[in-house]
Amino acid sequence: CGRVRFESQLRFGIEPATKAAIADNAKLLVHISVERVAAEFNRLLTGIDRRAGLQDFIETRLFAYAPKMAAHETALTQFSQLPDTQLTSLASGWAALIFLLRTQPLVMLKAWKQSNELITLVTQTVKLLQVMPNPTAWDLYQAGEAAVTTASEVQKLLTPDFDQQQLAEAYAALPIHSKKELALTGADLIKAGVRPGPAMGKALNQIEQRVVAGALPNELKSCCRSQLKCLKIVCECVM
């Protein structure tokens, strides 16, 4: 796996006899720790010649002995045929691969013993890719900046004419980018007469969605008590 990784990282070609030896001994990969295999594969994903590395990963049948990869030769081949643009992050590589594999990020990345941080980012990215190229404001908001950036790079890889700038501008234009920026709080609703509990949480979520969609100004803290009561009535009617 290391020689295949070097091919991706350094554009080294693998000598035919060496490649044949790798294929003959591919099954020995199961005796190498997952952490070691993952370290090599991670470097392959972000290498300057990812296509060559992936193609040899497939042709030597190393994939058949890698975690959760044996059943995915077709998708791996599809991934290896994408433009050979070097990816800027490991998350982009894994997100692109998992999106094409149509598998669960958590299951795949746990099998490869990847970090929880990477698992979270890839999961958010794959979820966003599933609604690309036309995500809603709520899709972008839920994904967050890191996942939007990662999904943008992956979508560009999958669809070369994708407009990354347009997606970046759409995210930047969101009224808020996290719940912390929401002007209204649970305390405000309590003051307006809303009882604490599931109904209040539902009301806050509904308000959050309306603010993100641009249907409600994020200026509720400056509103008077009577306006908050009106908002309470609207939320309760919808609920």
What confidence score (pLDDT) does residue 127 get? 98
Could you identify the residue written with the tokens 């908050």? 228
Question: Burial of 224 by CB count in 10 Å (0-12 exposed, 13-18 middle, 19+ buried)?
Answer: exposed
d(CA 217, CA 23): 61
What confidence score (pLDDT) does residue 6 get? 42
As averages over each run of 10 residues, the pLDDT of the chain (239 residues) reads: 45 67 81 93 90 91 94 95 92 97 96 97 98 96 98 96 96 96 82 76 84 86 44 50
Q: What region, left, alpha or beta, does residue 166 occupy, with left being phi > 0 and alpha being psi -120 to 50 degrees?
A: alpha
**Which among 34, 17, 18 has a CA at the least distance from the CA of 6?**
18
What confidence score (pLDDT) does residue 169 get? 97
**Which among 7, 91, 88, 18 has a CA at the least distance from the CA of 50?**
7
Q: Which two tokens stand for residue 60?
A: 């030597």
What confidence score (pLDDT) does residue 121 get? 98
Domains identified in the chain and CATH numbers: 2-172 (1.10.110.30), 179-238 (1.10.246)
Helix then strand then coil, in percent of the chain rounded to 5, is: 70, 0, 30
What confidence score (pLDDT) does residue 238 get? 45
Q: Is the pTM of this model over 0.85?
A: no
What confidence score (pLDDT) does residue 13 get? 59
What confidence score (pLDDT) does residue 11 get? 53
Q: What are phi and psi of 161, to 5 degrees?
A: -90, 10
18 Cβ contact partners less than 8 Å away, ≥ 6 residues apart? 3
What confidence score (pLDDT) does residue 207 get? 84
